[in-house]
Amino acid sequence: MVLRHVEIPDGFAAYVGPALLRWGYLYPGVRAEVRDNTIVLESDQNLEEPAASLRHQLYRERIYQETLPIRCRLYEGLAR
């Protein structure tokens, strides 16, 4: 088994759950476990690409959550 630790950057803890949910379908053979401020990946395969993809998904989730109120206001304005 190969282990890879992905550190959760400051300010990203709230986005870990949704990011792992979206990321998980891309890598069904990789087990992910959250420990303190780290996500531990475990698999039989090389984990460089899955780890990079997970970091990317964390940033994407943060951007999505932070811009959601703006998008909702825009859609409300268009619906009037």
Tens of pLDDT, residue by residue over 51-61, are: 999 999 999 99
Total number of domains constituting the chain: 1
Instruction: For 15-71, write each residue's pLDDT tens digit.
Output: 999 999 999 999 999 999 999 999 999 999 999 999 999 999 999 999 999 999 999
Residue 61 near residue 27, CB atoms below 8 Å: no
Give the structural domain span for 33: 2-79
**DSSP per residue, 20-73:** HHHHHTT-TT-EEEEETTEEEEEESS--HHHHHHHHHHHHHHHHHHHHHHHHHH
The enclosing domain of 11 has a CATH number of 3.30.70.270
Is it the case that residue 79 has pLDDT exceeding 90?
Answer: no
What pLDDT sits at residue 80?
79
Write down the pLDDT at residue 34. 98
Answer whether 0.85 is exceeded by the pTM: yes
